[in-house]
Amino acid sequence: MALKSSDTRWGSIAQWLHWLMALAIIGNGILGLIMVDMSRGMTKLNVFAIHKSIGLTVLALLILRVCWRMLDRKPRDEPMPRWQRLAAHATHAVLYLFMLAIPLSGWTYNSAHGNPLQWFKLFNLPALMERNDAISDLARDTHEVLFWILLLILVAHVGGALVHHVFTRDNTLLRMLPFARLRSRNSGDQS
Ligand code: HEM
Ligand code: HEM
């Protein structure tokens, strides 16, 4: 498996970063929704700490991913109508924005609320600002709303990938999957 992407498929670094981050983001969002309803206590504090650490990891992976994306090449788009290509590119750009905005709004909330921040109990991270109740409320609402909007965008993103896989029968999904064999362009079958 090539590390770098080719003209026809994503390389393994881009693939693993995509799936690792997809899992971390969706998993951390679900954890976030569950933890806010937990009863007060040490367990809740520990789950909050894990949520924040996973979120910071997503932020670090995003920086790596964007750097790698600039060094790597991008596979040529599968043949598709122009509107679909534009919609897919716009969705990807918005997804990158959300991968940045969701952790940053969480970090802003945590700072404005006056809570400490550690990465898996290994080291401390600085507050982004002084304590501020108005910003804290705004950042908390933004953090939650952005996650719900992300889920809506993901319906389009995942739906698009599945439509290409099942109906158009092209390589859009397969070329992002590690270990998958690409379909030959002529037959639409496994090659
Ligand atoms: C992948 C990144 C992240 C996702 C998808 C995510 C998602 C969520 C969600 C869905 C909630 C529940 C919101 C609610 O129902 O009120 C939440 C809560 C929270 N998140 Fe995140 N989060 C992420 C990263 C972060 C980061 C990096 C921090 C802090 C450094 C953070 C701090 C918090 C805090 C403190 C809460 C509790 C808010 C409250 O008490 O109402 N999150 N998060
Ligand atoms: C089950 C869930 C998911 C599926 C099936 C999926 C599928 C795909 C596929 C097939 C591609 C490649 C498109 C192409 O080659 O033109 C892709 C790209 C992308 N995906 Fe996902 N994805 C999922 C979840 C996510 C999540 C959770 C995020 C981020 C929040 C995300 C962000 C992206 C981005 C930004 C790209 C564009 C990559 C680039 O051009 O650099 N995906 N996804």
CB atoms within 10 A of CB 188: 10
51 C-alpha vs ligand 2 centroid, how far in Å? 22
Do 109 and 131 touch, CB atoms closer than 8 A? no
Q: Which two tokens stand for residue 161?
A: 């990938």
Q: Which of 80, 130, 93 is nearest to 110 (CA)?
A: 130
Would residue 30 count as lying in a domain? yes
Q: Quick: pLDDT tens for 43-61.
A: 999 999 999 999 999 999 9
At residue 187, does pLDDT exceed 50?
no
How many domains does one find in the chain? 1
Counting ligands in written order, the one closest to the CA of 136 is 1
What pLDDT does residue 98 have? 98
Strand pairing class (123-124; 118-119): antiparallel
Question: Is 53 part of a structural domain of the chain?
Answer: yes
C-alpha closest to that of 129 among 121, 117, 120, 119: 117
Q: 3-state SS of the chain: helix, strand, coil percent to 5?
A: 65, 5, 30
* Residue written as token pair 């969002």: 29
Instruction: Report the nearest atom of ligand 2 relative to the CA of 22.
Output: 27
Q: How confident is the model at residue 186 (pLDDT cuts 50, 70, 90)?
A: low
Quote the domain boundaries for residue 17. Answer: 12-176
Phi, psi values for residue 86, rounded to 5°: -65, -40
Question: Of all residues in the chain, what percent carry a pLDDT higher than 70?
Answer: 96
Q: What pLDDT is recorded for position 34?
A: 98
Distance CA 23, CA 50 (A): 15
Residue 7 placed within a domain: no
Report if residue 43 sits inside a domain.
yes
pLDDT of residue 61: 98
> pLDDT band at residue 184, thresholds of 50, 70 and 90?
confident
> What is the average per-residue pLDDT within 2-31?
98
Q: Is residue 123 part of a domain?
A: yes
Residue 141 has pLDDT above 60, yes or no: yes
Whether the pLDDT of residue 188 is over 50: the answer is: no
pLDDT digits (tens, 9 = 90+) for 60-99: 999 999 999 999 999 999 999 999 999 999 999 999 999 9
In a domain, 185, yes or no: no
Q: Decide if 66 is inside a domain.
A: yes
Residue 175 CA to ligand 2 center (angstroms) comes to 11
- Return the pLDDT at 189: 40
| Domain membership flag for residue 5 | no
CB 179 within 8 A of CB 64: no
Ligand 1 centroid, distance to 108 Cα (angstroms): 10
CATH number, position 31? 1.20.950.20
